[in-house]
Amino acid sequence: MNLTSLLLFLIIGGIAGWAASEMMRGRGLGLLGNIVVGIIGAVLGGWVLGALGIAFGGLIGSLLTAFLGAVLLLFLVGLIKRA
């Protein structure tokens, strides 16, 4: 992975994590928290959408996959916290 790919990966993770945290909780988690949520969300979203046979391509598709996974991640964390 070169520097450009790494930066793009972190930017997508940050944007997806920020958008998901805004949607799910109404406030951000900070830069590092948003990036972590976005990256874990991208992995989770890719796994779930892949299992469903859904694939998005390109930059927008990567952002959408990461966002959907991050929303799912925050939802699951919220369920665990309430239990």
- Residue 1 DSSP label: -
DSSP secondary structure of 11-75: HHHHHHHHHHHHHHHSS---HHHHHHHHHHHHHHHHHHHHHTT----HHHHHHHHHHHHHHHHHH
pLDDT given for residue 28 in this prediction: 67
The label of the residue with tokens 């859904």 reads 54
pLDDT given for residue 26 in this prediction: 65
CA distance linking residue 83 with residue 80, whole number of Å:
5
pLDDT tens per residue across all 83 residues of the chain? 799 988 998 999 999 999 999 998 766 678 898 889 999 999 999 999 999 999 888 889 999 999 999 999 999 988 888 87
